[in-house]
Amino acid sequence: MDISKHLNSEELNTKDKQPLYLQIALLIADKIQKQILPSGTKLPPERELADLFAVSRTTAINAYRKLEQQGLVWTKVGSGTYVAQARDAESLFEVPWPQLFTAYPQNPLASILRDIVSTPAPGTISLAPGMPDPALYPMETFTELFNHNIGRTPPSDFGYIPIEGYNPLRRAIAAMLSEKGISASTENIITLSGSQQGLYLLSKVLLEPGDYVVMEASTFIGAIQVFQSAGARILSLPCSEKLSLELLEDYLIRYRPKLLYMIPTYQNPTGRVMPAHERQNLIKLAKHHRLVIVEDDPYSDLYYGEQPPQALKALDSYGGVVYLGTFSKILFPGLRTGYLAGPPVLINRLALEKQLIDLHSNNIAQWLMAMFLNEGKLAGHLTTVRREYKKRRDTMAKALRRLCANDIEFNVPEGGFYFWCKLKQSGTSQQLLQEAVKNRISFVPGEAFHTVPTLDNEFRLCFTTHNEAVLLESVQRLAKTFAQLTKKNRANDAPPSSVWPII
C-alpha cells in the first residue's frame, strides 16, 4: 500500500513546542495503535520520511529511534523499518526483546552502511563493495583439489582441530610469508575466520575502553567499527602525500596509544602505497616507542605495475608488527579464511579469545587453502587476476578522464581495488550518491571511511567486481548524474553542504 498518504506533514502542529522528531513519532504511533499502519507494514526509508515531513534526515532518524524504543517499530539491517507486532493483552507476556539488549553504539556509519547494502533497484551497478569478480573465482581448481585429495585426507582432519588453525595451512602460510621476507614459522600464525576476525580479536586482547588507537584519517570501515565498539578513542593521521611522522610522534608522546592500524600498500580507500624509506622511518620510530603496529595487507599481491615495497612486518626488528592477511580479495570472500602473523605469546592469547567465539575456523576452507598453496596454484591465479584487473583499471581511468574530468579528480592506483575520487564542485558525495542511485549506479561515500567527521567530498569506486563493458556503462551513468546535478545546482541556490542541527 502507499503509506505516504498516512504520513502527512499537515497533521503536525507547527505551534507545538515538542521537538519535531517527537511530533512525528507520536503521529506515527497513533496510526500504528489505530492499526491504520498494521504490523508488518514497511515504513518509508529515513530519507523519504524526511522529505514527506520536510525535515532533516536526522529528525527522521530520531523519530524512528523513538518508535523503536517504544517497541512500535523495528529496523532490519539492509531492508528498512517495519511496524512491529501489536501488543494486546495476551502479548503482555511476550519477551520485550529490544528492552533486553545491551547498548549498541549508534554511529552514523551504521545508517550509511545500511543504505549501501540495502537492496538496490534492479539493474543497479554497484561499485560499492570491495569484491573480486566472481567470474574469476578459481572454482575449477578448487574442485580438482577437492577430488584429488579427499580420499587421501584422514577424516579426523574434519574433526576438532587446534584453535590456532589447521596445521598444514599454518605451515603453508608461514612458508608463503617467508618468501616475502617475513620470517615466520607455524607458531607465529593463527588462521582466522576472515581477517576481520583478527581485528576483533586484537581489540579484545589489547583495548580497554578509553584507550587510544592511531589510524589513517580515511581507512577500512570494519577496523573503525571494531575499535570504536571496543570503546577506543581514535587519533587520526591525515591521508596526504607523505605520512607525518612528526604528528605520529606527538601522538605517541602525548597519548601513548595502544596501537597504530595501517594499510601500507594500496590503502583502502585511497590506494596510496607507502614508499620504502617511509616504512623504514616508521619502523625506527615505532621501535623507539615500542609501538604496536597492526599492518593490514589484503591487497599487496594485486599490483598492476611494479611490485610494492616489502611489508612493514618484513622490517620488524622489535617484534611489534602484527601482520594481517586474507584470501578474500585475491581468491574469494566466501573462503572466510584470513590469518595473523605475530609473536607466539600473542598468538596464544588470541587463541584463548578465539576459543570463546568459534572454537576454531572452518576446516574445509582451511584444508582447500592448504592444498591450493602447497600445490603452487597461487602464482598462476595471481597472474590471471592481475592482468585482468589492470585492464579494468586502465579502462575505468580512461573513461573517468573522458567523461568526468570536470567533476572529479583522482589518482590512478598502482594496485588494489579502488579509485578514490574527489568532487571538484561544491556538494557532498552523499548527495551525489542519492542522485546516482536514481541512475542505477552506486558507490561508497567517503564519509563511511572517516575516522573523524569532516566535510565529505570524496567517494570510492571499486573497479574489480565488474568487466570492462559494465565499468564503461557505470562511468556513463556517473557522468549523467553529474550533468543532472550541475543543472539542479544552478536552479537551486541553497548551499548544499550545510550541517543541520540534531533536534
Binding to a copy of itself, residues 156-195 (CB under 8 A): 156-163, 193-194
Nearest approach in angstroms of CB 93 to a copy of itself is: 5
Nearest approach in angstroms of CB 201 to a copy of itself is: 9
Nearest approach in angstroms of CB 358 to a copy of itself is: 4
Terminal CA-CA length for the chain:
30
Order across the sheet with 458-462: list the strands: 408-410, 418-423, 458-462, 444-445
**Mask for 205-234, x = binds a copy of itself (CB under 8 A):** xxxx-------------x--xx--x-----
| Residue 135 contacts a copy of itself per CB under 8 A | yes
Rounded to an integer, what distance in angstroms lies between the CA atom of residue 174 and that of residue 238? 33
Binding to a copy of itself, residues 93-122 (CB under 8 A): 93-98, 100-102, 104, 110
What grid cell was written down for 347?
598468538
Of the two residues 346 and 404, which places its CB atom closer to a copy of itself in the complex? 346
Rounded to an integer, what distance in angstroms lies between the CA atom of residue 325 and that of residue 347? 14
The helices-and-strands tally (H runs, E runs) of the chain is 17, 15
Nearest approach in angstroms of CB 193 to a copy of itself is: 4
Nearest approach in angstroms of CB 479 to a copy of itself is: 27
What single string gives the DSSP state of each residue in 394-413?
A: HHHHHHHHHHHTTTEEEPPP
Nearest approach in angstroms of CB 1 to a copy of itself is: 21
Among 204, 386, 390, 480, binds a copy of itself (CB under 8 A): 204
Rounded to an integer, what distance in angstroms lies between the CA atom of residue 410 and that of residue 427? 17
Of the two residues 7 and 350, which places its CB atom closer to a copy of itself in the complex? 350
| Residue 363 contacts a copy of itself per CB under 8 A | yes
Nearest approach in angstroms of CB 128 to a copy of itself is: 11
Q: Is 190:166 a contact under the CB 8 Å cutoff?
A: no
Binding to a copy of itself, residues 243-272 (CB under 8 A): 258
Query: CB under 8 A: which stretch of 51-59, 267-275, 349-357, 390-398 binds a copy of itself?
Result: 349-357
Nearest approach in angstroms of CB 210 to a copy of itself is: 12
In 3D space, the residue among 121, 133, 136, 122 whose CA is nearest the CA of residue 466 turns out to be 133
- Give the long-range contacts of residues 283-288, CB within 8 A, separation 24 or more: 283/312, 283/315, 283/316, 283/317, 283/318, 283/321, 285/245, 285/248, 285/249, 285/252, 286/260, 286/318, 286/320, 286/321, 287/317, 287/318, 287/320
| Residue 139 contacts a copy of itself per CB under 8 A | yes
Binding to a copy of itself, residues 12-41 (CB under 8 A): none
| Residue 144 contacts a copy of itself per CB under 8 A | no
Q: Is 264:274 a contact under the CB 8 Å cutoff?
A: yes
| Residue 75 contacts a copy of itself per CB under 8 A | yes
Kind of pairing, strands 259-262 and 212-216? parallel
Nearest approach in angstroms of CB 424 to a copy of itself is: 32
Q: Say how many C-beta atoms besides its own lie within 10 A of residue 395's C-beta.
A: 17
Nearest approach in angstroms of CB 489 to a copy of itself is: 35
**Mask for 307-336, x = binds a copy of itself (CB under 8 A):** ----------xxxx-----------xxxxx
| Residue 196 contacts a copy of itself per CB under 8 A | yes
Unique residue bearing C-alpha cell 620470517: 183
In 3D space, the residue among 187, 500, 225 whose CA is nearest the CA of residue 351 turns out to be 187
Of the two residues 109 and 239, which places its CB atom closer to a copy of itself in the complex? 109
| The dihedral sign for the CA sequence 404, 407, 409, 410 | negative
Binding to a copy of itself, residues 280-309 (CB under 8 A): 287-288, 290, 292
Query: CB under 8 A: which stretch of 26-34, 142-150, 261-269, 482-490 binds a copy of itself?
Result: 142-150
